[in-house]
Structure 1
Amino acid sequence: MLQPRRNRQTRHETMRSASAVKSTKIVKPAKPTVNVKTSKDVKFSSLSLIDPFAKKHSRSQLQQIRIIEAAIESFANRGIEATTYARLARDCNISRPLIHHYFPTLASLFLMAAKHIRRSHLEAAMFNVKKAGPEAWDQLKAFVEGSFDWIEQHPNYAKFWLLYYYQCGLGGAIASEHTALVKAGEESLQSILSGFNLRKSDDPYVLTKSIQMTAIGGTLSALTESRHLPGKKAREITLSAIASILRGHRLL
């Protein structure tokens, strides 16, 4: 007995669909080009070892440096609130997922930018020291003048540094990390001050901090009082104040 026409059509269509499924290849979804990890999985130890002055960098390191440089410019000129992953992606021509892969949060990017700037600052200061003569006072002057030269050569770095100090005043992770950054500056100064004939009554730590705080105050004045206190004048006053500290310890 013949089945109704409607049922025969349904069976025919079902068989045709099954045949089509068998002949169709299953295409596996492509793997994402960037494996975006969570902040818990990302480690920043490798980035902290990047030397911005090295002759060669890996592709990954170059990308991270480009991101950091773009972030510094954005933080310095737009502020923290207006800096976004989308803006950074446009600025440095790197995809947003890749930026997020290297820096899961803008806070982590801000902190790494601060470390990058600190290293740049110390490298510039110590480069000046290497060009100075063997006398400890000449090296100390070169170290301080290197800081002022750095401010003039990197205005965005300097503006970022003012924002960084403000964030340190708010406390949190940035403030706790600031201790390590300051420590690096202390060690550089201590290596220079070791060339002076310190007396037993001289406290190396107190002397180092006195000079460091004076130098920081001078550079901040150069940044914030540029209209009334030109950089050259701020440099002279800072060096004069440091010389007075050394005379007080009978080191000059």
Structure 2
Amino acid sequence: MARAIEQIDNACPLSVAPGVRRKRFVDIAIWIAFFSCLATSGVAGYYATKSPAPAPGLIPQNEVFSAGEVEQGEMITATFSLKNTYPTPIDAISTTVGCSCQEASVSKTHLEPGESATINVLWRVGSRRGPAKESIMVKYTLANNDGASLAKSLALKIEADVIPDIKLDITHCEFVRGRPETVRVHLSPGRMNEFKIGRVYSNSQLIAASYDLESNVVEVRYVPNDNFGIGPAVHVEIETDSKREPFIRVPVSVVRAP
């Protein structure tokens, strides 16, 4: 800075006193710095606050409905709100559910621009256990600029954490082909403080299952046999006194050795 001031002093006419020349330089430097900061902050602020306008559509207020913790056998009611942000009307609004455990209804099948509709969903959780979710597809038609109808859709989701009557520490048994092995499945109280186990059996002759009453453990044994394959959809069935899940099914798979 001092060197720059000396250069300015030498460049200015001799008729101007050195002190005055230095003051002019300092004033100019301050103004340049001020406007540089102003311009930089203005550009940064412009790009930070400017965002593109959202695309028009049938916009849900909530795409996912979370029911939190629920019990087996519960019925969950979920409501979704949808708004038409298109500049044109929407017609033929309908819903398609993912399974027979769901029912869905629409409050309106036609929406003018700016209008809203609600989707009411009834979900029967049944014997699910742990994190569970289902989807609802909403379909509708929209007229384009040529007057033709465009088919569109959007997906909504409903989810819950299902606390079972009887908990399992292992929900799937996996064995390596050709290697005899035993997997122990521990049962513990969930929503039921006490429970009883009846028969325990497998649908494959390569898989044996038994239950130990004292330890509440189901032993699943893989007994390889070169003359028989494991087959598809193998599982162990556990009979219980639960009204919500009278049969607990534990899938079993046999994989190739790595």
Normalised TM-score (structure 1): 0.22
Q: Which has the higher helix share?
A: 1
Q: Which has the higher strand share?
A: 2
Structure of larger gyration radius: 2
